[in-house]
Chain A
Amino acid sequence: MISPMEKLRKTEVYKSIFRHKYEDTPRNRALQIVDNVFLHLHPVRVPRHATNIGYTWGMGGITFLLFLVLTLTGVILMFYYRPTAQYAYEDMKYLMHDVPFGPLIRNMHRWGAHAMVITVMLHMFRVFLTGSYKPPRQFNWVVGVVLLLLTFLLSFSGYLLPWDQLSIWAVTVGTNMARATPLLGHEGPFGPQLGMRPDADVRFVLLGGTQVGPPTLLRFYVGHCIFLPLIATIFMVVHFWRIRKDGGISGPDTGKKNF
């Protein structure tokens, strides 16, 4: 008697999707990785300490997972959110009170963002403590620092979107530092001497006005939803690719190759 699962595995449709046999053999385990577009991010075999969560802390992977969760919940939130001073706060209220699962999605987005900042910092802490930035991984550390910066910027730009008191004042204080930028800000050292004005300096690029107002909301929205995620994705692609190219997970040099 052949089980229904086995019958299914003999169908043409199944075989067209999974191109290797089901038996648990080392060859099929390897094919499971190389034949899958997502899993082939990984090598086929890794040193045992790469699976030891005490060594890796898993923070890089968790950061990537949180990025995916944030992308998904963020897209869902966009169905109800309008980035104008007139509607933004109303839409938040609407989401929190009248949209089924609205609060859950928004909470996951907010708490996921906080969690991502934490995991990104811990990931960097671990990579430093294991000396994993040392040759040949120097450049990937630099890419990682850029990703850390992008994580902060993503979180900061999202902070303004609810358009409540917390948002506007955190962003007012944050962007007012930009006006003190040396040379490029209208209150920074040598800024006025170089002709910087409140309506023509580096802070204006962020705000789209001389104070935090409706144009700022739109600029932050576009930055938060499109511009920064796009750049972060590009850097993530490079980051992951370089992990493989630099020899996979870091580890002590025991004369064996890791890939």
Chain B
Amino acid sequence: MADDITSSSQTVPPQRPQALSQESQISATPIPKKPKQDRAPENDPGIWRMGRKSFLSFAGWLSFLGFIGISTVGALRFMFPRVLFEPPSKFKAGLPGDYVIGEVNEKYTEEQRIWIVREREGFYALIAICTHLGCTPRWLTAENKFKCPCHGSGYYKDGVNFEGPTPRPLERAQITVNDDGEIVIDKSIKFRYELGEWGKAGSFLKYVG
């Protein structure tokens, strides 16, 4: 089949087809280029150096690629809706007097993924999401630590990591008291230890009672 396609064009010197048939059966014989009529001469300093046809070709390709590009951006943007229907990030967590000093309270862990820790000087709220890969760690009272079942990361009671693969401590959520004296926790406001945010207002609720 392919043997039929050999070059027998007149522009090829007579000895070449023989040499070619040994190397490759299909040869690309260059067709002599016609001088382009609509192209300005090389030494023409005019402003339309590009020529009408190549300009239209350039503009055509540019619009096509532009269309593809904008469509891609649009499709990507489509994946980010303007409104998210996720559970509210704020919740009330009862009166400060309900908590026992030194205890890690797990009352809201199931619903809100928050531990509320009562220390002598006050409260802090740890977000129960392992900073390694997002599993829910467990509070092990006997060993006085948080331990993640996914990859074995461990945290002290204050949330600082000390073992396993996790790169950083647990995050704290904003904890405040409202006008009725109830604890309010906002999970959307987070405090990260390694950024030095645990000293900021809201990361720790002073309470001595």
* A contacts, CB < 8 Å to B: 169, 172-173, 176-177, 199-200, 204-205, 208-211, 213
Q: Are B134 and A209 in contact (CB under 8 A)?
A: no
* B contacts, CB < 8 Å to A: 76, 79-81, 84, 86, 133-135, 150
Q: Are A173 and B135 in contact (CB under 8 A)?
A: yes
The answer, among A173, A177, A199, A205, for a CB contact under 8 Å with B84, is: A199
Q: Are A173 and B150 in contact (CB under 8 A)?
A: yes
Q: Are A210 and B133 in contact (CB under 8 A)?
A: no
Alpha-carbon distance between A200 and B134 when the two chains are bound, in angstroms: 18
Q: Are B135 and A208 in contact (CB under 8 A)?
A: no
Q: Are B135 and A210 in contact (CB under 8 A)?
A: no
The answer, among B80, B86, B133, B135, for a CB contact under 8 Å with A177, is: B133
Q: Are B133 and A176 in contact (CB under 8 A)?
A: yes
Given A210-B86, A213-B86: A204 in contact with B135 (beta carbons within 8 A):
no
Q: In the assembled complex, which residues on chain A have CB atoms less than 8 Å from the CB atom of B79?
A: 204-205, 208
Q: Are B76 and A205 in contact (CB under 8 A)?
A: yes
Sample 27 A-B pairs with CB under 8 A, ordered by A number: A169-B135, A169-B150, A172-B133, A172-B134, A172-B135, A173-B133, A173-B135, A173-B150, A176-B133, A176-B134, A177-B133, A199-B80, A199-B84, A200-B80, A204-B79, A204-B80, A205-B79, A205-B80, A208-B79, A208-B81, A209-B84, A209-B86, A210-B84, A210-B86, A211-B86, A211-B134, A213-B86
Given A209-B86, A210-B86, A213-B86: A173 in contact with B134 (beta carbons within 8 A):
yes
Question: What is the CB-to-nearest-CB distance from A201 to chain B, in angstroms, rounded to a whole number?
Answer: 10
Chain B minimum-CB-distance residue to A205: B79
Give the dominant DSSP class at B's interface. Answer: loop
Q: In the assembled complex, which residues on chain A have CB atoms less than 8 Å from the CB atom of B135?
A: 169, 172-173
Known: A173-B133, A210-B84. 7 other contacts (CB 8 A): A172-B133, A172-B134, A176-B133, A199-B84, A205-B80, A208-B79, A209-B84
Cross-chain pair count, CB within 8 angstroms: 29
Alpha-carbon distance between A213 and B134 when the two chains are bound, in angstroms: 14
Alpha-carbon distance between A30 and B150 when the two chains are bound, in angstroms: 58
Q: In the assembled complex, which residues on chain B have CB atoms less than 8 Å from the CB atom of A177?
A: 133
Chain B minimum-CB-distance residue to A214: B85
Alpha-carbon distance between A132 and B186 when the two chains are bound, in angstroms: 59
Q: In the assembled complex, which residues on chain B have CB atoms less than 8 Å from the CB atom of A211?
A: 86, 134
Q: In the assembled complex, which residues on chain B have CB atoms less than 8 Å from the CB atom of A169?
A: 135, 150
Most chain-A Cβ atoms within 10 A of its Cβ — which of B76, B133, B135? B133
Alpha-carbon distance between A200 and B76 when the two chains are bound, in angstroms: 11
Top 4 A-B pairs, shortest CB-CB distance: A176-B134, A176-B133, A205-B79, A173-B133
Q: In the assembled complex, which residues on chain B have CB atoms less than 8 Å from the CB atom of A200?
A: 80
Chain B minimum-CB-distance residue to A219: B79
Question: What is the CB-to-nearest-CB distance from A174 to chain B, in angstroms, rounded to a whole number?
Answer: 9
Question: What is the CB-to-nearest-CB distance from B193 to chain A, in angstroms, rounded to a whole number?
Answer: 15
Q: In the assembled complex, which residues on chain B have CB atoms less than 8 Å from the CB atom of A172?
A: 133-135
Chain B minimum-CB-distance residue to A201: B80
Alpha-carbon distance between A177 and B133 when the two chains are bound, in angstroms: 7
Alpha-carbon distance between A204 and B78 when the two chains are bound, in angstroms: 12
Alpha-carbon distance between A211 and B133 when the two chains are bound, in angstroms: 12
Q: In the assembled complex, which residues on chain A have CB atoms less than 8 Å from the CB atom of B150?
A: 169, 173
Alpha-carbon distance between A96 and B58 when the two chains are bound, in angstroms: 60
Q: In the assembled complex, which residues on chain A have CB atoms less than 8 Å from the CB atom of B134?
A: 172-173, 176, 211
Alpha-carbon distance between A205 and B76 when the two chains are bound, in angstroms: 8
Q: In the assembled complex, which residues on chain B have CB atoms less than 8 Å from the CB atom of A173?
A: 133-135, 150
Question: What is the CB-to-nearest-CB distance from B139 to chain A, in angstroms, rounded to a whole number?
Answer: 18
Question: What is the CB-to-nearest-CB distance from B68 to chain A, in angstroms, rounded to a whole number?
Answer: 18
Alpha-carbon distance between A169 and B130 when the two chains are bound, in angstroms: 13
